[in-house]
A and B are shown apart, each in its own frame.
Chain A
Amino acid sequence: MSLSIERVSNETLGEQVVRAELPGGLPVFFCPKPDFRKKYACYSTFFGSVDSQFIPPQQKETIKVPDGIAHFLEHTLFETEKGNVSDLFAENGAYNNAATSFATTTYLFASGERFFENLKLLIDFVENPVFDPEKVEKEKGIIEQEIKMYDDEPDWVAYMGMLDSLFQEHPLKIDILGSVDSIQTIDSQTLHDCYRTFYTPKNMALFITGDLQEEEVLEFVEKTSKYGSSNSAPHSGESSADQGGIVRIYPEEPTPVARELFESRMAVGLPQILFGFKEPNVPQSGSEKLQLDMVTKFALDLLLGRSSNHFLDLYSRQLVLDDFSVSWMSYAGVGVLSVGGETPDPDGMMQALEKIFDEAKNFTLSEDDFRRAKKKYMGGMTRAFNSLEYIASNYTYYRFYGLDLFSVLDEIQKVDQDAVQDRLKTLFKPERRTVSKILPLG
């Protein structure tokens, strides 16, 4: 049976992506990259640390899972009946890895040769998990060391401290890795509950890119994936519109922050200050989310980016250093804006930034700055298309939010200066602010 195919292309970039849906409901994407020696594939599920409460498809009861379970499940999938899957990839010479974020879990490999053997491995291990209680217990020791490694990284401690202080209820406060205590409560059953809820074809995507032939790729995937036939998806049910009928539950987030200050003393050379602002009730998906994300990024860049007067002032007064950064992200209906970095003078930096936040509503954008910012974003997006990994992971990411990566370039063009100007008026509300401080010992 031949699959129905949809093509999306961007002529300026000279790139195209083919989309096909397997009979069992799994979306498969292919981006041809002639001349490249690297071939790359990633199999992703729209399941991350924010999915801590949910109702599985065709069930009624809400499940609340232990913190860190999406990441734990990622580790668990590596253990197959034929051994650790990294060993199997290694035998084929492929590089493989996986990553869990706030919203997604991705399994990937890159190889120069024997691509289809590796693709089969990827599909097989993601689609056929083994929940061996003994191995689950053993994995706890490894993840515990992973958690402790991050506990010694000031950037991570500052960032997670900031999120934990911003939110009272929302699961964005949860550390992606969980805690040494929370992972102890994870067992085969809870892992299995998560797997059967989120690792369903409509909640996943397979992306393949490299110097390959479209027909061969799609045929191989159809033959290899268990979603290649239509009776293979017990959970897809009748509700095909959403991500397989999963009900994700995100508690109502009150406006006040959980804590106005997070402070930790660590063995570091310099103090670090990270401001966070939360924004409850932002669009969860679609072009509304994309426009808000972009307008916000432009606003932050124009206010505090490397070519802004504010940055110049902060930097020349030595209140901020080269690692100073400003970022925005939005997941599961809430947004987080963060501003900060290392500083020799934490109080001076805080005062200066607080003043900038307070006065941001009166900040006037210049047309010339706005024009250059657009150029920079255009160039950045174009450059990113050098990377197969970027194309695969971002294409998948945008798809999960009902968007197309190629349209992002057009959306950048559409960003309106007045919208950016307006955004600055509401961005820095004091009651939604927290500050995370890392100070040297002693």
Chain B
Amino acid sequence: MDPVKDLEFHRTLLPGDVQLSILPTRKLKTVQVSVYFGGNLDEQFTSRALLPQLLNRGTQKFSTLQAMQKQREELYGAFVSGGVAKFGEWHYLTFRLECVNGRFLPGDDDVFREGLQFLRDLIFDPCLSDGLFREEEFEQEKSNLTRQIESLIDQKDYYAFERLVQSMCPMEPYRRYEHGSTEDLESLSRLALTQYWQEVLTHAPREIYLVGDVDPQRATALFSEIFSEGQHAPEILWPPPVLEEPREFQEVRESMDVNQAKLCLGYRSKSTYSEGDLAAQILMDGILGSHSQSKLFQNVREKESLAYSVHSVLEKTKGLLFILAGVASEKVPQATEIIQKQIEDLQNGEITEAELTATRESIDNQLVLLEDNFNALVDIDFRWRLNGRPFQLREYRQELREVTRDRIQQAARDLWLDTVYLLDK
């Protein structure tokens, strides 16, 4: 029995035509708010990455990091913070509040109202000096972000993945790293960032989500009161990316002093949210490498002991598939061969009943569990809407259940190996 009511967002428009989506649930001890400001992964990507760092530095009311932190503690350790995320060729800002629902605190039920006010101030009312972000804070956050970008290298898996993406998509906006570029940061001025912030407030399309044990009407009233920033004229975001034509295969190798080689393969496919057969693509990715019964895990790790970690990931807006493995240097050729063999097997329709069942069940289970994962649900709802499709969990489950072997085989045949990237000593 599906608890249908649990998953329906109550959607209303706040003043300024900002959509508020509320998902009431009794499962949470907290109230969670997410405010999204949509954007393109354009030349402004570094400004967008730096902006939340500056906003996190202080509001007019709580103007230092210390004052901000003290206020979070006052609100029972509430989470209030902004960040940035990359999704295909979009790049959006998220501001989040999570605070304990006053029902679980003896005598302190105004935490939510105060938390919401704090979140609102963080976005709209930063501490400025002469109308600009403060100089010291600006310089500090610039160098913090520079370091964060430079220390990507500390996490070899992520580093290798970013390098694969850069090699594979040199002309596509998707090549850009979500946390920005150090060159852009160097030349970024306080004035430019402050102007960018004002631009975001007036032009970035925005959405607000609320999840928790709340009364939708009362919550809407509270948002209308606190988040009433008036009219704005949102820009139109880029349409979903156009599929790239297959081109010549390339191999990229980078040397570094590492104990374990990172082997990354990048494929292009014909399926995205808006084109081709995404459901079949998801099943194909599952059989290939998204869980422990999948071909990669079984053949690269379990049968040959070549790797501890090996898996595949889909990028669904651009139709990309990545395979990522950590293997011993001397085993790279053997691992590469076995990985490619798994793709060939899929293309030849070699899928066992066990592989198919395990993948179907595993995907279905993940979707059932999604109903308890509110951060993920909210993010998925937002992301699907960016792609112009509403996310209906139960319909989506059904759609995935109906994928046939032939469609999976076809999805594998549509794969085109674009780039192999190797990080090795």
Chain A residues with CB under 8 Å of chain B are 12-14, 33, 35-38, 84, 86-87, 89-96, 110-113, 138-146, 148-149, 151-154, 266-270, 306-309, 311-312, 315-316, 318, 321-322, 342, 344, 372-373, 375-380, 382-383, 385-386, 388, 441
Contact = CB atoms under 8 A, between A and B. Distances in A.
Interface string B14-57: 00000000000111111000000000000000000000000000
B400 to A, nearest CB: 12
Nearest to B66: A312
A344 B76 contact: no
Given A13-B104, A112-B369, A307-B66, A145 B308 contact: yes
Given A269-B154, A373-B73, A378-B76, A92 B326 contact: no
B292 interface: yes
A136 to B, nearest CB: 12
B263 to A, nearest CB: 12
Closest 4 CB pairs of A and B: A379-B76, A93-B361, A112-B368, A141-B305
Given A266-B257, A382-B100, A376 B28 contact: no
A382 B365 contact: no
Contact of B372 (A36, A142, A379): A36
A93 B29 contact: no
Contacts of B293: 86-87, 90-91
B27 A146 contact: no
A113 B25 contact: no
Pick the most buried of B306, B328, B358, B372: most chain A CB atoms within 10 A of its CB.
B372
B99 A379 contact: yes
A441 B136 CA distance: 31
Interface string B39-83: 000000000000000000000000011100110111111100000
Contacts of B3: 35
B307 interface: yes
A199 B410 CA distance: 48
A37 B371 contact: yes
Given A37-B369, A307-B66, A270 B362 contact: no
A113 to B, nearest CB: 6
B11 interface: no
Nearest to B260: A148
B372 A93 contact: no
A372 to B, nearest CB: 4
A56 B352 CA distance: 45
Contacts of B256: 267
B151 A380 contact: no
Interface of B: 3, 6, 25-30, 64-66, 69-70, 72-78, 98-100, 104-106, 136, 140, 143-144, 147-148, 150-156, 256-260, 291-293, 301-302, 305-309, 326-328, 354, 357-358, 360-362, 364-366, 368-369, 371-372
Pick the most buried of B26, B143, B147, B360: most chain A CB atoms within 10 A of its CB.
B147
Contacts, number: 194
Nearest to A86: B292
A270 B151 contact: yes
A90 B26 CA distance: 30
A338 to B, nearest CB: 18
A344 B302 CA distance: 41
Given A148-B259, A309-B66, A383 B98 contact: yes
Contacts of A321: 144, 147
A153 B155 CA distance: 7
Contacts of B77: 375-380, 383
Nearest to B301: A142
Given A142-B305, A270-B150, A306-B69, A383 B362 contact: no
Contact of A110 (B99, B106, B369): B369
Nearest to A111: B365
B154 A270 contact: yes
B153 A269 contact: yes
Contacts of A373: 73
Contacts of A266: 257
B79 to A, nearest CB: 8
